[in-house]
Amino acid sequence: MTECAEQSMPSRLPDQTADVVVIGGGPAGLAAAVKLRRQGVSSVVVLERDVSAGGIPRQCSHPPFGVREFGRILSGMAYARKLVSLAERFNVDIRVRHSVVALHPGGELNVATPKGPLTLRAKRVLIATGVREMPRSARLVSGGRPSGIFTTGVLQSMVNLQHLKPCNRPLIIGTELVSFSALHTARGAGMKPVAMIESGSRITARRPVDLYPRILGVPLHYSTEIEKIHGRDWVEGVTVRNAQGDLLDIDCDGVLFTGRFIPESTLVRLSHLELDPLSGGPVIDQFGRCSDPAYFAAGNLLRPVETAGWSFREGEAVAKWISDDLKGSGQIEKTIREAKRVRVHCTAPVKLVVPQMIVPGSSDGMQHLQLRMLTRADGHLTVKADDQIIWQKRLSALPERRVLIALSALNVSETCKALNITMQP
Amino acid sequence: MEKSDLYDVAVIGGGVVGCAVARRFALQGARTILLEKGSDILSGASKGNSAILHTGFDAPKNSLELQCIKDGHAEYCDIRAKLNLPLLETGALVVAWSEDQLARLAGIVDQAQQNGIEDAVLVPAEEIYRREPALGEGVQGGVWVPNEYVIDPWSAPYAYLLQAVRNGAEARFGVDVQNGTFDGQHWTLHDQRGDIRSKLVINCAGLYGDLLDRDVLGQMDFSIKPRKGQFVVYDKAAADLLSAIILPVPSEHTKGIVITRTAFGNLLVGPTAEEQDDREDASADHATLKMLMDKAEELIPALCNMEVTATYAGIRPASERKEYRIQAHSDKNWITVGGIRSTGLTSALGIARHVYGLYEDMGYSNEALVDVEWPKMKNLSAHHPRDWAEPGYGEIVCHCELVTQREIEAALDGPLAARSPGALKRRTRATMGRCQGFNCTHRLAEITRGRITPEFSVGEVDD
């Protein structure tokens, strides 16, 4: 009967508690954890689902990382190692191979661990789960489903973590900053990208990075869209449609979809927390606090996509407010009692705004509203408090570029119901 | 064990029907071999379907198809716990969105009654909205069919064949039967790796069933008219929007587009019905996928904020006629199982029983196994505990679908080990979640190196 007895033993681990649990061991999460410890928070646990912490920079062989955080230019890998050793030095309890599977009200988490499922209760939880690139499926690209279709993330982790090449001659889709980093990684691994294509009339990243493919002799086609992927077991080629509407076959053995980042907000989507369909991340106020005040969020989960350095600083900032909140000090403490939060909305061509709630009259917390545009937009960026214009500025903005509005410039009255952000001619 | 090279039965084709037929014959004690030309089961039509376990309420009256659906449904419900296969007891609502469709509901109930599905009942619009509050405006009424369920379309056939193998059957992959000879008593099927001799051949070759009959049997009584169906899979968050399977009122031409939860916790929309000549080309196209999404968002408006996880297409082996083309050629020791167009997942176990009956009618009999082994499947469904809930799994490799290293190792091992990326995905769900491999492909590439074809990588980085 021993076997039966063993089988009926509960495999669940005893419940545990912590002051703050950080979900995600990337730049935002680790920076926040260190800051929390610096602020005197005694038990800070970082849950990292991967085999080691460090986040996306772990798989990036290229610089520049860490210029502002560590005062030197590092590769992504070196930066990730520095983040982890910094956290270890501050006695952050980093637990790798720990996957959070559900968020419950008040800071209760269900966690999968190799030693069995675990329930972890925290006074505060910081969600810092980052972003991922949009895969081929969500782009609704025509064609079969052969092997050889991947993203920059796959390319970089395969090349830099496993020393393997996903293909030899990829076609690169997109011209965000990450697309050029994909080009760099591919070339470094001995792959020969056949071309880059961009649906717009200019690159999405800042010039002059478009010189890079030119130097390498990799053609960059503008106003060109992917039409169909060919191949049964493995990619055999791609048909693209150019600006004139002509179809062109490109011979390649891989299709590399780059960028179009999406917040990794699965846990939020499947939880009680409010999600913002525009940003794809949780709804937060200017302290990074979610709809359940036990939860906070920071880093690229909030909006696609910023640099590791930005995520690091955002993690530190939100950590400070979490620590204030735990101590009952600072303005965050006042705002939670008064619970007065004004909703911030936006309409196209404004793609998203973060934070989605602000506390009027508070000078603490995030200092800016962060915006992104859906398309190239020219006009007057306008903030209305209910129907009243309270701020306006002439602006010409490209898609995916960060646009900031200083909160100190917005005089939001206590009676205001909502802010609306639009572009006006 | 006796070392004779003569099989009682050779099943050609490792789709869901072939797997179920092999299982039935193995359990009945027949010496059985399954021959599949792909590197894994489900390499053709059975790869992509809507994963619904049908009742047969709308099947043609008094048809063999209806009988097989009902038998298949009953047997699945009977054996699934022993094989640890999931069953999502959703029920289905046939929803009328116009006056015209509303008028046809009574006929649907009527046909269900005649088909022996007596619990199919009319439901008023208010009741439908009460049960399915996410449905968009315009519901006129519907028919509730309580025993339409959702299953795991890949684990089920895998379990059938694994049980066959564990009970003495053999399965060979990469065997493309192009010709064979019948000497009046036995068949000899030719393969590069050696001939296979069998008393009986069962053609379960799906999309190639007509060609196999033509080339080996020497007569072709039907022709396959491939019919493609495209699907869109929404993110798991979308599954909460729905309880039942939402079926359309069928028109003269098509059964129309279904919206259903999946066993894996997603929401599925499809299929289209596109006639084509190509038996292999399961490519999706942008405009059609967009049309499916528009249609789905019309029926469930909240879907507009949901992410798409995957898109795929399957090809149904329809024939020029509606009915199943199952025929025993007694003089040739050959049974053809063809034209199993879209209900095969449900009817397979029933078809297998029917085919075994035909075999007995031909004068054969075997001694059924007494001690039957029941292999337990790893549960992949979202509504039962998964492997990660048990300690000692190593690491979670695929984070979106919470697939463990232990599950991947198990899939790469054993008598029906996964030998291709597709096989590994179907056995474990690795890379089938919302990130589609962004996070785990590099680990899979490492774990599966030298063990599957094609690999996830083309080789080592140039130094």
Facing residue for A114 by CB, picked from B392, B449, B459: B392
pLDDT band at A68; cut points 50, 70, 90: very high
Nearest CA-CA partner of A204 in A166, A175, A170? A175
Integer Cα distance of B107 and B120 in angstroms: 11
By CA distance, what is A226's nearest residue in B?
B286
Percent of chain B residues past pLDDT 90, beyond the cut: 95
Contact list in A for residue B435 (CB cut-off 8 A) is 132, 135, 264
Query: Residues, chain A, total?
Result: 425
- The listed range with the strongest mean pLDDT (A31-40, A62-71, A357-366) is A31-40
Question: Measured between alpha carbons, how far is A227 from A258 in angstroms, rounded to an integer?
Answer: 16
Mean local confidence (pLDDT), B267-275: 95
Whether residue B407 lies within 8 A of chain A, CB to CB, comes out as: no
Assembly ipTM: 0.95
Q: What is the pLDDT of residue B342?
A: 86
pLDDT at B253: 64
Q: Measure in Å the smallest separation between the Cα of B418 and chain A Cα atoms.
A: 15
Is it the case that residue A8 has pLDDT exceeding 60?
A: no
Contact residues for B214 (Cβ-Cβ < 8 A; gap 6+):
B220
Give the A:B interface size as CB pairs under 8 Å.
147
What pLDDT is stored for residue B145 in this prediction?
Answer: 98
pLDDT of B329 above 80 = yes
Alpha helices in A131-176 (DSSP H): 152-162
Q: What is the pLDDT confidence band of residue B69, given thresholds at 50, 70 and 90?
A: very high
Convert chain B into a string of H (helix), E (strand) and C (coil).
CCCCCEEEEEEECCCHHHHHHHHHHHHCCCCEEEEECCCCCCCCHHHCCCCEECCCCCCCCCCHHHHHHHHHHHHHHHHHHHHCCCCECCCEEEEECCHHHHHHHHHHHHHHHHCCCCCCEEEEHHHHHHHCCCCCCCCCEEEEECCCEECCCCHHHHHHHHHHHHCCCEEEECCCCCCEEECCCCEEECCCCCCEEEEEEEECCHHHHHHHHHHHHCCCCCCEEEEEEEEEEECHHHHHHCCCEEEECCCCCCCCCEEEECCCCCEEEECCCEECCCCCCCCECHHHHHHHHHHHHHHCHHHHHCCEEEEEEEEEEEECCCCCEEEEEHHHCEEEEECCCCCHHHHHHHHHHHHHHHHHHCCCCCCCCCCCCCCCCCCCCCCCCCHHHCCCCCCEEECCCCEEHHHHHHHCCCCCCCCCHHHHHHHHCCCCCCCCCCCCHHHHHHHCCCCCCCCCCCEECCC
Structure confidence at residue A360 (pLDDT): 87
Q: What would the pLDDT profile of B29-43 be if each residue is shown by its tens digit?
A: 999 999 999 999 999
Q: What is the CB neighbour count within 10 angstroms for residue B62?
A: 10
User: Is A10 within 8 Å of chain B by CB?
Assistant: no
Instruction: Quickly count: other Cβ atoms within 10 Å of residue B320's Cβ.
Output: 11
Q: Give the pLDDT confidence score for residue B366 in this predicted structure.
A: 95
Restricting to A residues 197-256, those with a Cβ less than 8 Å away from any Cβ of B are 228, 232-234, 253
Instruction: Check A232 against B459: CB less than 8 A apart.
Output: no
Are the C-beta atoms of A93 and A45 separated by less than 8 Å?
yes
State which fold the B88-150+225-318 domain adopts.
Answer: D-Amino Acid Oxidase; Chain A, domain 2 (3.30.9)
pLDDT at A345: 97
Q: Model confidence over A138-178: pLDDT tens digits?
A: 999 999 999 999 999 999 999 999 999 999 999 999 999 99
Identify the pLDDT of residue A341: 86
Q: Determine contact: A7 vs chain B, CB below 8 A.
A: no
The per-residue pLDDT for A9 is: 45
- As a whole number, mean pLDDT of residues A354-376 equals 93
**Domain limits, chain B:** 88-150+225-318, 387-447
Residue B385 has pLDDT above 90, yes or no: yes
pLDDT tens, position by position, B301-316: 999 989 999 999 999 9
Q: How far is A137 from chain B (nearest CA, A)?
A: 5
Q: Which stretch of A252-261, A410-419, B245-254 has the lowest confidence by average pLDDT?
A: B245-254
Assigned fold of A15-134+260-338: FAD/NAD(P)-binding domain (3.50.50)
Please check whether residue A180 is in contact with residue A152, taking contact to mean a CB–CB distance below 8 angstroms: no
The pLDDT assigned to A363 comes to 86
Pair A114, B395: CB distance under 8 Å: yes
Contact A190 B395 (CB under 8 A): no
- What does the pLDDT look like over B412-433, one tens digit per residue? 999 999 999 999 999 999 999 9
Q: Which residues pair with B86 in a beta bridge?
A: none
Which residues in chain B touch residue A262, judged by CB atoms under 8 angstroms apart?
A: 307
pLDDT at A340: 77
Chain A nearest-CA distance from B24, in A, is 32
pLDDT top residue among B109 and A5: B109
Nearest chain B residue to A111 by CA distance is: B389
Q: CB within 8 A of B2, min separation 6: which ones?
A: none
Contact A97 B395 (CB under 8 A): yes
**Where along chain A do the CATH 3.50.50.60 domains lie?**
15-134+260-338, 138-259
Run of H or E residues at A356? none
pLDDT band at B254 (very low <50, low <70, confident <90, very high): low
Instruction: Give the Cβ contact number of residue B379 at 10 Å.
Output: 18
For residue A291, which phi and psi values (nearest 5 degrees)? -65, -30
- Report, as an integer, the average pLDDT of A386-396: 95
**Reported confidence tier of residue B403, pLDDT bands at 50, 70, 90:** very high
Residue B353 has what pLDDT?
98
Searching chain B, which residue's CA lies closest to the CA of residue A130?
A: B439
Q: Do A138 and B393 touch (CB under 8 A)?
A: no
List the single residue in B395, B435, B458 with the smallest CB-CB distance to A166.
B458
Residue A7 pLDDT more than 90? no
Residue A162 is nearest to which of B235, B391, B442, comparing CB atoms?
B442
User: Would you place residue A5 in the very low, low, confident or very high pLDDT band (cuts 50, 70, 90)?
Assistant: very low
Whether the predicted pLDDT of B79 surpasses 80: yes
User: Average pLDDT for residues B259-280, to the nearest whole number?
Assistant: 96
* pLDDT band per the 50, 70, 90 thresholds, residue B463: confident
Q: Which residues pair with A282 in a beta bridge?
A: A275
Mutate to test the interface with B, among A147, A173, A301 (most CBs of B within 10 A): A147
Band (pLDDT 50/70/90 cuts) for residue B92 is: very high
pTM above 0.80, yes or no: yes
CA–CA dist A391, A145 (Å, integer): 49
Looking at the structure, give the CATH architecture of the domain made up of residues A138-259.
3-Layer(bba) Sandwich (3.50)
A110 Cβ under 8 Å from any chain B Cβ: no
pLDDT band at A337 (very low <50, low <70, confident <90, very high): low
Asked if B213 and B328 count as a contact pair (C-beta separation under 8 A), the reply is no
Name which of A266, A275, A305 to mutate to probe chain B: the one with the most chain B Cβ atoms within 10 A of its Cβ: A266
A338 — pLDDT class (breaks 50, 70, 90): low
The token pair at A154 is 């796959």
> Do B392 and A163 lie within an 8 Å CB cutoff?
no
How far apart are the CA of A100 and the nearest CA of chain B, in angstroms?
10
Question: pLDDT by residue (tens digit) across B102-135?
Answer: 999 999 999 999 999 999 999 999 999 999 999 9
A262 in reach of chain B (CB within 8 A)? yes
Mapped onto helix, strand or coil, the DSSP state of residue A195 is strand
Taking residues B332-354, what's their average pLDDT?
96
